[in-house]
C-alpha cells in the first residue's frame, strides 16, 4: 500500500460517508502483503445496513481476521463489543483497522480502548463526502470533528476525501467535491490522506489536478439488503 500508516487505523464518518467501504478496501490493500497480519474490528454500533460484518466472508478468505458482533445480533443496534476486540487492541503486533460510527454513540465506543490508543501511535481519519448532510459545508465538517474528538477523547489525524453521488457520480463531481474537502482540511489544519475513487473512474481522473493527494481506488463490497442487483 502506498501509505505509511500506523499499526492502528480508525475510520469514522457520518451515515453515507462511505467509511465502511473504505475500511474494507484499506484492510484488503494491507493484506496484499501476505506477511502482514491484518484484523478488522467492526465498532459501527448505529448503522444496521452497511456494517463490515457483511463482508466478513470476503475478508477471511483473504486471511483478514474480522471481529464483529455475534451473528444473532447482526440486525441489532445495541452497543455490543465482543471480548475479541479487547484482545486485538492489546496485542503489540499486526495491523488493526477499526470501523466506527460517526455519531456520539459510535465514537464513545472507542473510549473503552483508550488505554491502547496513545497519541502518535494511531491514525484516526474522518471520511468526508461533501455531498452528504452534515458534510456539505465547512462549518458542518468542523462541527463533526469537534464532536467526534470530544466524544472519543482522541484527536483526529486526517481527512479522507470521498466525494460521490452514487450512480450519478461523474469525474467532474469528484473533482468539485474534492476541492471542498481540501478547503475544509486547510481550515482544520488536517491533512487529506487520500482521495477515494471507484475503480471505474480511476483512468478518467486527471491526476495532475490531484497530484497533492494520493488516489485510492476502491471496489464496492457491501450493499444493504434493500438495494437490488440492478442498483449496484
pLDDT (0 to 100) of residue 49: 46
| Per-residue pLDDT tens digits for 150-178 | 888 899 999 999 999 988 999 999 999 99
Q: How many CA atoms lie within 13 A of 10 on its CB side?
A: 33
Q: What span, in angstroms and rounded, lies between the C-alpha atoms of 196 and 217?
A: 6
Instruction: For the chain, give every domain's residue range.
Output: 8-223
Does position 47 have pLDDT exceeding 80, yes or no? no
| Per-residue pLDDT tens digits for 78-87 | 445 668 888 8
Q: Using a pLDDT cut of 70, give the percent of the chain over it.
A: 80
Contact status, residue 45 vs residue 101, Cβ threshold 8 Å:
yes
pLDDT (0 to 100) of residue 2: 52
Q: Using a pLDDT cut of 90, give the percent of the chain over it.
A: 35
Mean pLDDT, the chain, as a whole number? 82
| Per-residue pLDDT tens digits for 88-116 | 998 878 899 999 887 766 777 788 888 89
pLDDT (0 to 100) of residue 185: 94
- Topology of domain 8-223, per CATH? Rossmann fold (3.40.50)
Amino acid at each position: 500500500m502506498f501509505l505509511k500508516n500506523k499499526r492502528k487505523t480508525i475510520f469514522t464518518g457520518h451515515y453515507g460517508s462511505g467509511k465502511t467501504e473504505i475500511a474494507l478496501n484499506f484492510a484488503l490493500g494491507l493484506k496484499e502483503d501476505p506477511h502482514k497480519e491484518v484484523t478488522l474490528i467492526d465498532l459501527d454500533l448505529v448503522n444496521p445496513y452497511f456494517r463490515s460484518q457483511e463482508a466478513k466472508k470476503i475478508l477471511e478468505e483473504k486471511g483478514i481476521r474480522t471481529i464483529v458482533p455475534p451473528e444473532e445480533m447482526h440486525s441489532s443496534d445495541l452497543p455490543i463489543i465482543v471480548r475479541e476486540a479487547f484482545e486485538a487492541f492489546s496485542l503489540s503486533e499486526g495491523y488493526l483497522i477499526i470501523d466506527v460510527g460517526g455519531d456520539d454513540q459510535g465514537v464513545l465506543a472507542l473510549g473503552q480502548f483508550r488505554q491502547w490508543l496513545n497519541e502518535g501511535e494511531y491514525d484516526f481519519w474522518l471520511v468526508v463526502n461533501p455531498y452528504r448532510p452534515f458534510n456539505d459545508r465547512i462549518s458542518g465538517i468542523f462541527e463533526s470533528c469537534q464532536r467526534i474528538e470530544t466524544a472519543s477523547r482522541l484527536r483526529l489525524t486526517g481527512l479522507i476525501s470521498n466525494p460521490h453521488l452514487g450512480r450519478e457520480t461523474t469525474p467532474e463531481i469528484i473533482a468539485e467535491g474534492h476541492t471542498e474537502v481540501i478547503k475544509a482540511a486547510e481550515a482544520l489544519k488536517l491533512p487529506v490522506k487520500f482521495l477515494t475513487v471507484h475503480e471505474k473512474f480511476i483512468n478518467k481522473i486527471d491526476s495532475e489536478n490531484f497530484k497533492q493527494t494520493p488516489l485510492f481506488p476502491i471496489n464496492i463490497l457491501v450493499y444493504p439488503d434493500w438495494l437490488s442487483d440492478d442498483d449496484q
